[in-house]
Amino acid sequence: MSQKRFNSDLLNFLNNSPTAFHAVASLSQMLEAANFTRLHEGERWQLEANQGYYVTRNDSSIIAFRHNAKSMLEQGIRLTGAHTDSPCLKVKPHPEIRRQGYLQLGVEVYGGALFAPWFDRDLSLAGRVNYQTKQGELRACLINMRDPVAIIPSLAIHLFRGVHENRSINPQQELMPILSQLGEKEKFSFDSLLLKQVKKQAAHRNAQKILAHELFLYDTQAPALVGLGEEFIASARLDNLLSCFLACRSLIAATGKHASLLVCNDHEEVGSGSSSGAQGPFLKAVLQRMSQHCGDESDLLQRIVSNSTLISIDNAHGVHPNYLAKHDDAHRPLLNAGPVIKLNANQRYASNSESVALFKSICEKAKVSYQSFVMRNDMACGSTIGPITATETGINAIDIGVATFAMHSIRELAGAKDAYLLSKVITAFYSR
């Protein structure tokens, strides 16, 4: 596949995945089109050699794998990991706020979001809605309003002359978007708005009462290739849907009969501590069920794990030309210069010399250049699902990613070559 076609498909994936729920739905569609069979955690699994399968949890995490009992016992499993969530603004349970004739929406901050870029953007709403039918059944559906329905206007500089001198943003007071203007006697029900959105879908026209929701604001500006030579990808949620997409594409494209697996967890941006997060039991449960199809010895899973390798894929901090001092002098990743190996002495990243050596060898065989990133000693280092997954499973791991600007902004920037190059490496990893 050409880089042009790859990037076109990536942009479509990003555009159709405004939330973790939608990302998992999009990944499921990709896997279904590649003849992967859906499994359900509450049912018995009958796994066939060399067949592809996938399973979801909470509609927001997904694991896809190719099963091969012989390969698992001899060579372990080749795993990649990413996450489906991104920092954003989440709608509160009782969100209606009326002030000065304006209808506003109560929100809370999800993850470590940059606040300032959320101002003056055309925002829409998407997520999961749980409802009750006329027959009393409890059901759920995904909604995406797509149209711009909200905005957070900035305060004019004339009313805030000190805006450029160390401004701080109060997320409780200043991040409430405006939905509409309402007269004093005009009624509005957020649940009624949601019910109308749910009933637009033929499969959910029987909805009667909204019971709960997990809804998020997102920027309606479409992902795009930017730069004089279209050198960059600009989009919301590059951290970390870019990684989810390329890893899924690589799993589908991989040749050979090796046991391979992709896990995309929710809730990484808030610590991974949930039933569908990397700290939860989802991956371990799937690995256990896969091992049960290899025999009945009690130590099978441990033997498989000892030979397995995880590549944790999450975005890396590219060196910003306006802020060179924010990087260690010898570790300044460039956009469009290949995947970045992320290292940290305090195990904020899972990389070690063994996993780094393996990854470099794969890159060299795929003829893809690579870079390294280490945080400055006087700055705190972020983390990924890599160390968490390695701790929970015992699998040897490495943290890598695509160099990115404006991480955790409402619109991030990556190199147009890098996702494509990394997909070649991950495909080679799955195929080796």
Write down all domains in the chain, each with its CATH number in brackets: 3-86+236-431 (3.40.630.10), 88-219 (2.30.250.10)
Q: How many CA atoms lie within 13 A of 324 on its CB side?
A: 3
Is-above-0.95 flag for pTM? yes
Contacts of 37 (CB under 8 A, 6+ apart): 51, 52, 53, 54
Burial 22-52 (b: 16+ CB within 10 A, else e): bbbbbbbebbeeeebeebeeeeebebeeeeb
**Distance of alpha carbon 129 from alpha carbon 21, whole angstroms:** 11
85 phi/psi in degrees, rounded to 5:
-95, 160
pLDDT of the residue at 83: 98
Q: What is the pLDDT of residue 295?
A: 85
pLDDT of residue 256: 77
Sheet holding 396-401, edge to edge: 37-38, 52-57, 61-66, 260-265, 78-83, 309-313, 396-401, 340-343, 371-374
Residue recorded with tokens 């300032």: 116
The interaxial angle of helices 282-292 and 385-393, nearest 10 deg, is: 40
Rounded to whole angstroms, how far apart are CA atoms 227 and 103? 38
Q: What are the tokens at 225? A: 């290739």
Enumerate residue ranges in the chain where pLDDT < 70: none
CA dihedral sign of residues 379, 383, 387, 388: positive
Tokens 């009945």, located at residue = 296
Tell me, what's the pLDDT at 259?
Answer: 95
One-letter amino acid for residue 299 of the chain: D
Alpha-carbon span 409 to 387, nearest angstrom = 24
Strand order in the sheet with 88-99: 138-144, 123-133, 207-219, 88-99, 102-110, 178-181
